[in-house]
């Protein structure tokens, strides 16, 4: 009897999961089909009518990527800017947080616990509250720090700095929880054998921490790639520095009725994050549980 109940419960949970998955992906399917429909049909009929009278075209993607006849898109020109902004904004906090998390987890020093609590508390600070101080720092300087006065592509440095600062509290907290859960016997045995902190980091801790590192890297990549506020505020919003999100915000047109551009542009912008996620999904799933089990 218990076996029958367990099978029925398992089937019920499976059915619920399938229904949730269908409901979750239906808007994405509608967006995809809309991006392949002609402009006239998108503005006059719903996306579900494509099943009765399928008229598909790639003109929307051509307009968004190359600009078409009116030069309204040219999203491809901003793709490189997004890559230039995103990759350093992932690598910088990842490296800094890894060293900080190791020190907080395996090096004894006074005030360590208070520092961990302080780093955790920084996660509740809204990003918007830090934009004005950052703008003041970049334009006027602060204390012993001179003003940056960056123009053109050099303004990428401001965006990298902002994303690194905003990401460090969460990155340190995540990696610290994972590194602190590593077997103490393994670390102590390596120390007895004469391993230095550098050896421990590169040969023992780094391979074991790969799931946590990949998990944070994927989260940070998607966050920075989809960011609009920081990029628009600190990069200047010009064509030579603006990422894809800034350009997407202007694709709707003056009256917000250019839906065919938005649907196609949304899938162009989502392509690289999807590739990154599917390439690293196995490590990402393990990284989400980083530090959840002690020992």
Greater model confidence, 240 or 117: 117
Asked if 73 and 251 count as a contact pair (C-beta separation under 8 A), the reply is yes
Q: Which of 229, 222, 95, 230 is nearest to 157 (CA)?
A: 230
Kindly report the number of other CB atoms within 10 A of residue 181's CB atom.
Answer: 17
Q: Are 212 and 287 in contact (CB under 8 A)?
A: yes
Digit-coded pLDDT (tens) for 146-182: 555 566 566 788 889 889 989 999 999 889 888 888 8
* Amino acid 280: pLDDT: 80
Residue indicated by tokens 């230095």: 196
Per-residue pLDDT band at 91 (split at 50, 70, 90): very high
Write down the pLDDT at residue 270.
Answer: 86
Spatial CA neighbour of 169 closest among 131, 120, 102, 96: 120
Chain segment 236-282, per-residue pLDDT in tens: 767 778 888 888 877 766 656 677 788 888 888 888 888 888 888 77
Examine the pLDDT at 97 and tell me if it is beyond 70: yes
Cα separations in angstroms, 86 against 95, 125, 157, 277: 15, 22, 12, 15
């Amino acid at each position: 009897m218990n076996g029958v109940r367990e099978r029925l419960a398992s089937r019920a949970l499976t059915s619920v999961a399938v229904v949730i998955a269908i409901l979750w992906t239906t808007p994405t399917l509608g967006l995809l089909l809309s991006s392949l429909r002609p402009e006239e049909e998108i503005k006059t009929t719903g996306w579900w009518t494509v099943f009765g009278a399928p008229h598909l075209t790639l003109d929307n993607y051509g307009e968004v990527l190359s600009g078409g006849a009116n030069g309204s898109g040219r999203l491809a020109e901003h793709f490189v800017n997004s890559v230039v902004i995103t990759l350093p904004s992932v690598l910088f906090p990842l490296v800094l947080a890894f060293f900080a998390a190791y020190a907080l987890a395996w090096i004894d020093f006074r005030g360590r616990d208070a520092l961990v609590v302080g780093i955790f508390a920084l996660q509740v600070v809204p990003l918007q509250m830090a934009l004005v101080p950052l703008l003041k720092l970049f334009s006027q300087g602060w204390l012993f720090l001179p003003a940056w006065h960056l123009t053109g592509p050099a303004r990428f440095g401001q965006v990298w700095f902002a994303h690194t600062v905003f990401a460090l509290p969460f990155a340190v907290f995540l990696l610290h929880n994972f590194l602190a859960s590593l077997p103490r016997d393994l670390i102590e045995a390596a120390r007895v054998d004469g391993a230095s902190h550098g050896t421990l980091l590169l040969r023992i801790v780094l391979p074991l921490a790969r799931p946590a590192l990949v998990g944070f890297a994927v989260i940070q990549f998607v966050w920075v790639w989809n960011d609009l506020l920081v990029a628009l505020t600190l990069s200047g919003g010009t064509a030579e520095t603006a990422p894809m999100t800034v350009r997407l915000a202007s694709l709707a047109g003056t009256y917000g009725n250019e839906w065919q551009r938005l649907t196609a542009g949304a899938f162009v912008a989502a392509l690289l994050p999807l590739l990154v996620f599917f390439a690293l999904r196995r490590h990402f799933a393990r990284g989400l549980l980083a530090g959840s089990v002690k020992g």
